[in-house]
């Protein structure tokens, strides 16, 4: 049986989860292809959200209805403003998170979304 998707995302990391989530908000049926459905939203060994560069991305994703900012607020262990000794234009909030709580938060949001399907598998080529 063939299924049609408006978006197929390879990988369930930060970018993949946000792409599928945001596209689902505009009614687009999305699929996330991942080798392990239990790894949806998994963080790296340094579970930080924010900082000068990533903080800007987090705010932009948040405006689109993304998950990262809310997940960081929910799972945060320490909240800090970087570059406080410099001018206000380079101050940047950063959260250190509990990576397992963050992962569960993201995973629950994605798995409950009726417009997102998780496909366990590996993408080895594209047919266009």
Residues 111-123: tens digit of each pLDDT: 999 999 999 999 9
pTM assigned to the model: 0.87
Average confidence (pLDDT) over 38-53: 88
When the pLDDT of each residue in the chain is averaged and rounded to a whole number, the result is: 92
Instruction: For the sheet with 7-10, list strands across it.
Output: 7-10, 30-34, 116-120
Indicate the burial class of 119 (C-beta count within 10 angstroms; 0-12, 13-18, 19 or more): middle
Q: Is the pLDDT of residue 49 over 80?
A: yes
Each residue of 83-106: b (16+ CB within 10 Å) or e? Answer: eeeeeeeeebebbbbebeebbbbb
**pLDDT given at position 45:** 83
| Interatomic CA distance for residues 89 and 86, integer angstroms | 8
Q: What is the pLDDT of residues 63-98, one digit of tens each?
A: 999 999 999 999 999 999 999 999 998 899 999 999
């Amino acid at each position: 049986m063939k299924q049609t998707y408006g978006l197929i995302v390879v990988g369930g990391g930060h970018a993949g989860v946000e792409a599928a989530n945001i596209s689902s908000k505009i009614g687009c049926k999305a699929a996330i292809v991942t080798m392990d459905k239990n790894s949806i939203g998994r963080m790296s060994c340094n579970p930080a959200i924010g900082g000068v560069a990533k903080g800007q991305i987090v705010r932009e994703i948040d405006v689109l209805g993304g998950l990262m900012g809310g997940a960081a607020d929910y799972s945060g262990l320490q909240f800090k403003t970087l570059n406080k000794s410099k001018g206000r234009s380079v101050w940047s909030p950063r959260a250190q998170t509990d990576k397992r709580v963050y992962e569960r938060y993201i995973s629950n949001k994605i798995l409950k979304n009726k417009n997102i399907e998780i496909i366990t598998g590996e993408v080895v080529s594209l047919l266009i």
